[in-house]
Structure 1
Amino acid sequence: MGSWDEFNEQRLGPVIRRRSRVQRGTMDQHLLDTRERAAEYVHEDPWRVLRMQAEFVEGFGALAEVGPAISVFGSARTASDSAEYARGVAIGKGLVDAGFGVITGGGPGVMEAANKGALEAGGLSVGLGIELPFEQGLNRYVDLGVNFRYFFVRKTCFVKYSQGFVVLPGGFGTMDELFEALTLVQTKKVTRFPIVLFGSDYWGGLVDWLRKTVVDGGKAAERDLDLFHITDDVAEAVELVTKETP
């Protein structure tokens, strides 16, 4: 499957649109855009709730038998010939060797790397995709894929079907997933949920800011910094994220 730009392809949940049938905007955008006429929302929101419900049902049904798994997050922009990509492959393999399936966002870059590692190691390779204006589709190393319309439904499935997160360098989406997990652990919405940041050079500045600005400013507790681990070693990342799971 090529990129969205190459094929002018758009995935809307289970529906694929190409060429003149591509729609502009996303379901999240229509839901959250307050510039839409209020009268239309009065009539449409109840139906959106049913669509959200259906998306949860489809996701839960598809993922119910995944078994023990770890989610791997990171940038979609990571080049396939980079050292970072190679580490993603190694982490995917290591997680399978430790007895876990691998769940990613299903896209290119680091996500593809972890899915590739899991597949090559003979383990389960899962991709949870998302409807975006620049849709790229699920990478070819995904064995079980689910495409979501709504970010919050997708993130719920990441947490529900994972026993921990490994977070490689990434952008806003990766940060969103990281801090969602940290918040859930901090507030004890989930327990025994290890989070590993891979790449001290990349994450070091963020950790320093959390310590010197957030914690020292009284916005978080010192113990909150124990909610995650940071490492540059693949074997250690796999051990940290798997040893604390039930």
Structure 2
Amino acid sequence: MSDTKNVHLPATEQIPVISAELKHAAETLQEVGFGISVFGSARIPSDNKYYEMACELGKRLAEAGLMLIAGGGPGIMEAANKGAYEAGGRSVGLNIRLPRETSNNPYQTHSLQFEYFVSRKATFFMHSSAYIALPGGFGTMDEVFEVITLVQTRKLPAAPIVLVGSAFWGGLIDWVREQLLGNKLISPGDLDLITVTDDLDEVMQVVNACCSQFALEPTCEPTLPH
């Protein structure tokens, strides 16, 4: 388990570890190519419909020849990794030890271990051509809003951002429309960055529409938001 004392280390000691984590992640992603990042809660049990959807999503991505990148923990992360792994696909886990997540899920063809959230989260954005989020808590919200911000500000290349589960995400999107757009805190076109759906066929259509260009660039090196 990660040593909580690390948060009290001076930045001069933390930075070399973060740099090493990023370098190792970049080297690994360079070997396996572009992927699709999947976000979601560690707390969703295996009998939940969203677990089943995440598993099916992982399977479909693998069958389409696309690498899946998930958080490596239980819940939605496990389901997505499992679907890809059992379908014979490339299944990357970005693992970080937390009090609620004391072990990595076993459905990973490529396993990366992180001490710091900053390097782990940056790795999601290094070599992904699309981002898919299923229901989740604060961590999932953090990942979703960061990728929206990075695409909105063009710090990342344009990429699909798909939220799976209209009942879960609908209230948040209504709030964004009423409060952020209504108060002119975002532009009208910013909402077009996001697709909300319950249909995995639609998810795959959105993903496949953007991925042909990356199939032509298999040697493109991972890059951080700039």
TM (normalized to structure 1)? Answer: 0.82
Matches within 5 A, 1:1-246: 10=1, 12=2, 23=3, 25=4, 27=6, 29-30=7-8, 44-245=10-211, 246=213
2-structure distance, mates of 1:48, 1:88: 34
Q: What is the alpha-carbon distance in structure 2 between the residues aligned to residue 161 and residue 205 of structure 1?
A: 30
Question: Per-residue CA shift, 1:80-115, capped at 9, x if unaligned?
Answer: 112111111110011112220111000000111111
Cα distance per residue 1:53-102 (max 9 Å; x no partner): 22222222222212131011111111111211111111001111222011
Distance 1:88 1:30 in 2: 36
Q: Larger Cα Rg: Structure 1 or Structure 2?
A: 1
Q: CA deviation at 1:183?
A: 0.5
C-alpha separation in 2, matches of 1:190 and 1:132: 28
CA contact (8 A) 1:195 1:241 kept: no
Q: Distance in 2 between matches of 1:237 and 1:168?
A: 12
> Aligned AA for 2:51?
Y
SS at match of 1:126: strand
**Conserved in 1, the CA contact under 8 Å of 2:162 and 2:203?**
yes
Q: TM-score, normalised by structure 2?
A: 0.89
The Cα offsets for residues 134-168 of structure 1, whole Å up to 9 and x where unpaired, read as: 44221011121111111111111101121111100
Q: Distance in 2 between matches of 1:172 and 1:128?
A: 17
Q: Which runs of 4+ in 1 moved over 4 A?
A: none
Q: CA deviation at 1:127?
A: 0.3
Pairwise CA RMSD: 1.4
Identity of aligned pairs, percent? 47
Q: Distance in 2 between matches of 1:108 and 1:135?
A: 7
Confirm or deny: 8 A CA contact 2:133 2:163 kept in the other structure. yes
Q: Which runs of 5+ in 1 are unaligned?
A: 1-9, 13-22, 32-43
Conserved? CA contact 2:22–2:119, under 8 Å: yes
Q: How many residues align?
A: 212
What CA distance in whole angstroms lies between the structure 2 residues aligned with 1:197 and 1:145?
A: 25
Deviation at 1:30, TM superposition (A): 2.5
Contact 1:107 1:129 in 2 (8 A): yes
Q: Could you tell me how far apart the structure 2 residues matched to 1:113 and 1:135 are? A: 15
Question: Partner amino acid for 2:103?
Answer: G
